Structure 1
């Protein structure tokens, strides 16, 4: 008699509407229950039975059920599942194949579909990519079900970490292939023969994809005649060809610790285009005349397509040692030795010019992971920059500024690197910080202007505290098809062309340059391509970060109580984020590791300081000694405590 009773249905609806409705993010616990996080302060318990309908990270809505003064959450509607396309590990339950998604509770398994041929190849512990096919909260669905779409790595693969990371960010895990690579007839014509010029390269010892070579001389007036040769892959790769379309998608060579995936076929990147010693190679060459102070104009620049032959491959450390009179180079070519001294002089002149007319970032150390045969971290080397690094950096900046002038004045478009200074939404906050630190001669208009940004940077560059404090308010670097300022470098415009083996944007600029020299039309770059470049660059940085965090946590896992020098890079509600300066790892120093009485600690995030009983203990940019306290492998977090002063 109660079936299809409209009154009963109305009562049910009214009862349901009386229950409080909330939405939030599911947080799963290893023991099977969970919580719905509504905001930073509010969460609701989810019983084990209801968690069977959910997975960690799901965004859901539902009602709050009260029972004996205890509240719990009952899910009703799936807003967005955290599992859409995901990485997981293959397992078997009751002979059925399942997948254990990464970053989920260890017992959370999803039944998966896979075609018979692939299924026969999969074994327990293998890693795959899968897509979610059904979710229990979806209409007419009763269980989780996923479809395996891509194999990543065997359970025992020593490359598992790298392959999983590449798959996570949808990056290729192998080099593109090419059957035949020849220089087109048009690209062979009218190339200037510069094979007699004593070009040479300076790079890392193991570098194979060398894309720049240098030659220099000085006239009787003390002016510099500089030639920079850049590898020319566009001589082999025609626009809109198969290889060009591959490079257009990849945009960059992928550089991960001890694991590189080239943008171009290795035959091109490491051989045919690489400016190897004693090998004739096609190149684009920029000839620049600079006065004694390192200055040049558009009239001092000449570009040409050429054939070159590098006379030597030099390494950073050897060149720096030679120029610092620590050791000699292992060859008798006196001409190159003379050139190195000229380049060192020009680099110093240019650094001084940039200090006066642009901006210079403080040199950061590079860190290199040394891996054993099983790709486990043996050690981490701190590679300090020397004179040779300064030489190459300054010469490439000169070459890029030369191209920037050419693109701006003669073409009007290209791929330009841009940076707009501080993010506008933080301007009021930045102004307050400056005033609090005794700098009051800036306003909103001056702080957002190119000239004002440069003036501030020059003012605070030697102030470690303010430099560190304001760094997080910077806007991200970007690309533009028209000349736009690069605040970070202090240039009104900046385009690159010196790494065409590794960057598709540089290939675009090569083609524009060639077309202009030949007085031929060439399609301008598009904003869509620049968006693709920006997206790929972001993915590459995230992938590199993930690998580094994993390797650091692996390396430090058994080094509890080992002491390191650290620098405070951020202060937040929980404590201080620090960087271990000997190895480059980031770690967290919780307030509980600073002082055991929390009520005696005063944390001022705006000031970037931590006080105990009103006495300043730590502030941003401070150097201190820390000890490894704990390494959490599951999320690659490194916890430190304060050590004894060294």
Structure 2
């Protein structure tokens, strides 16, 4: 008799409306219960039974239940699921296939079905990509259900880590496959034959996609005549062709440790366009004159479609050993040996020029993972940038500056790399920090200007503490059709064209400069394409970070209690973030592992210091000695050794 009683229904509705309601993000605990974290920093306990209806990261709303002065949260409706498209591991429970999403509680087993496009027969332990079909808080259905849309890797695959990382960011796993790759007939006309010029390449020993070659001579007045040859994939890849469309989507070659996925087919990237020694190849040439102080003569820049034939493939180490240790060069070409010496002198001149007229980043070296036959990390090599690396860097900057002048002064648009310095939302913090450290000559307006930023960088770049602290207030780099300053490089505009095999934006600039030379119609780049390039670049950086974190954790997992030298790169309320100097791994040192008496140690993140008993004991950029304590998942925990700060 009470089932359809409207008064009872109304009473229930009124009671429901009077019950406190909140919304927030679910935070799961490994023991099965969880918490709801709200925007006002308050947390509510979620019992184990209620956690079965949500998962970590879900944004939900519901009611707060009070019982004996204890509050708990009961989820009622889903605002946004943390599981939409995700990676997971296959298992079988009661003969039914389930998927365990990565980075979720091991208790979360989701029933799943298989999309018809997935042809592989799935086994226990296989990794797949799935999409969430239903959620327990959604109407009608009261369970988690997922659909498997893509196979990723077998449980025993040595490439599992790489394939999972690529799948996580929806990145390709193979080079493009195109049946026909022939040079466009129009590209055969008016292409100058420069095969007699003594061009040569400088690359790593295992580089196959060589996209730049160099030739140089020196004038009687101390000036240099530099020719930079850049591989010309646009001779093969027609605009709006099938392959062009593929390159537009990929935007960049993907570089992961010992696992590269080319933007273009390997036949192009590693063969037909690669500037291999003693092979005739199409290239775009930039001719320029640089005076004895390092200035480019902007009136004498020439771009030429040409044929070249590199006379030698040299390596960074061999060229550096030749210049630094007087060792033999791996070529008997006397002209190339002379050119190497010219380039060493030009690089020194240009480094001085950039320190005066632009900005130069601190050289921190590169880290390279060495893997065994099972793709496990056996060592990590720190590679410092030697003179040969500096030569190639300075030549590429010169070539890109030359292109920038052409785009800026003669075409008016292109694909420009831009960077606006400090993020405006942090500018008051920057001013305060500088004032606190005795630099009071800058205000908000000057720091947001190109000239003011460059001036500050020249002051702080030799002060590691200041430059490390201010790095976190920087804005991100972007792309633009119009020329705008690149604050980080200290250039009023900067465009690149020197890596067209690896970057779609460089291909766009190649086409623009060719169209200008040939008096063809000039079309500005597509703004949506620039947006796609920026988004893809962010995804690639995240993938690179994930791979590095996994490999570092793998390498350090059996090195507990080993000692390393490290630099403090960040300080927060929980402790210090550090980077191990010799291998490049990032780790965290909790306050409790810096000083045992909790009441005596206080971090000051805004100031970039840690005080013990009111005395500054550690600050950003300090070099410290640490001991590895724990490696869990991708997190590396360390403690300061008794030696402490070096």
Residue 463 (1) aligns with residue 463 (2): yes
Partners of 1:319 and 1:446 lie apart in 2 by: 43
Residue 47 (1) aligns with residue 47 (2): yes
C-alpha contact (below 8 Å) 2:120/2:151 kept by paired residues: no
Please state how far the C-alpha of 1:167 moved relative to its aligned partner.
0.6
Partners of 2:230 and 2:331 lie apart in 1 by: 24
Distance 1:223 1:447, change over 3 A: same
What secondary structure, in the 3-state scheme, does the structure 2 residue paired with 1:140 have?
Answer: coil
Partners of 2:115 and 2:430 lie apart in 1 by: 57
- Report the equivalent of 1:398: 398
CA offsets 1:544-593 (integer angstroms, 9 cap, x no match): 00000000000000101111110010000001101001000011011001
- Report the equivalent of 1:227: 227
Residue 491 (1) aligns with residue 491 (2): yes
- Report the equivalent of 2:312: 312
C-alpha contact (below 8 Å) 2:176/2:263 kept by paired residues: yes
Partners of 1:45 and 1:221 lie apart in 2 by: 78
C-alpha contact (below 8 Å) 2:566/2:580 kept by paired residues: yes
* Structure 1 runs, 4 residues or longer, greater than 3 Å off: 115-120
Q: 1:643 aligns with which of 635, 638, 641?
A: 641
Partners of 2:41 and 2:486 lie apart in 1 by: 41
C-alpha contact (below 8 Å) 1:290/1:300 kept by paired residues: no
Please state how far the C-alpha of 1:522 moved relative to its aligned partner.
3.5
Partners of 1:394 and 1:330 lie apart in 2 by: 22
Distance 1:543 1:116, change over 3 A: closer
Higher mean C-alpha deviation, range 531-540 or range 10-19: 10-19
1:345-364 correspondence to structure 2 within 5 Å: 345-364=345-364
- Report the equivalent of 2:291: 291
Higher mean C-alpha deviation, range 602-611 or range 508-517: 602-611
C-alpha contact (below 8 Å) 2:111/2:146 kept by paired residues: yes
Distance 1:325 1:147, change over 3 A: same
Distance 1:120 1:161, change over 3 A: closer
C-alpha contact (below 8 Å) 2:118/2:150 kept by paired residues: no
- Report the equivalent of 1:384: 384
Q: TM-score, normalised by structure 1?
A: 0.98
Please state how far the C-alpha of 1:33 moved relative to its aligned partner.
1.9
Residue 84 (1) aligns with residue 84 (2): yes
C-alpha contact (below 8 Å) 2:497/2:506 kept by paired residues: yes
1:392-471 correspondence to structure 2 within 5 Å: 392-471=392-471
CA offsets 1:252-273 (integer angstroms, 9 cap, x no match): 0000011000000000000000
Residue 333 (1) aligns with residue 307 (2): no
Please state how far the C-alpha of 1:199 moved relative to its aligned partner.
0.4
> How many matched pairs?
644
- Report the equivalent of 1:553: 553
Please state how far the C-alpha of 1:2 moved relative to its aligned partner.
1.9
- Report the equivalent of 1:206: 206
Distance 1:456 1:115, change over 3 A: closer
What secondary structure, in the 3-state scheme, does the structure 2 residue paired with 1:497 have?
Answer: coil
Higher mean C-alpha deviation, range 346-355 or range 111-120: 111-120
Please state how far the C-alpha of 1:362 moved relative to its aligned partner.
0.8
What secondary structure, in the 3-state scheme, does the structure 1 residue paired with 2:501 have?
Answer: coil
CA RMSD of superposed structures (Å):
1.2
C-alpha contact (below 8 Å) 2:214/2:229 kept by paired residues: yes
C-alpha contact (below 8 Å) 2:568/2:578 kept by paired residues: yes
- Report the equivalent of 1:625: 625
Partners of 1:516 and 1:49 lie apart in 2 by: 68
C-alpha contact (below 8 Å) 1:90/1:124 kept by paired residues: yes
CA offsets 1:207-229 (integer angstroms, 9 cap, x no match): 00000000001012211000000
Residue 273 (1) aligns with residue 279 (2): no
CA offsets 1:506-541 (integer angstroms, 9 cap, x no match): 000000000000000142101100000000000000
CA offsets 1:23-80 (integer angstroms, 9 cap, x no match): 1111222332222122474211212221121111111000011122222111111001
Partners of 1:473 and 1:29 lie apart in 2 by: 33
1:251-266 correspondence to structure 2 within 5 Å: 251-266=251-266
- Report the equivalent of 1:612: 612
C-alpha contact (below 8 Å) 2:115/2:147 kept by paired residues: no
C-alpha contact (below 8 Å) 1:511/1:522 kept by paired residues: no
User: Which runs of 5 or more residues in structure 2 are unaligned?
Assistant: none
C-alpha contact (below 8 Å) 2:277/2:309 kept by paired residues: yes
CA offsets 1:354-410 (integer angstroms, 9 cap, x no match): 111111111121000000111000000000100001000000000000000001111
C-alpha contact (below 8 Å) 1:253/1:261 kept by paired residues: yes
Q: TM-score, normalised by structure 2?
A: 0.98
C-alpha contact (below 8 Å) 2:629/2:639 kept by paired residues: yes
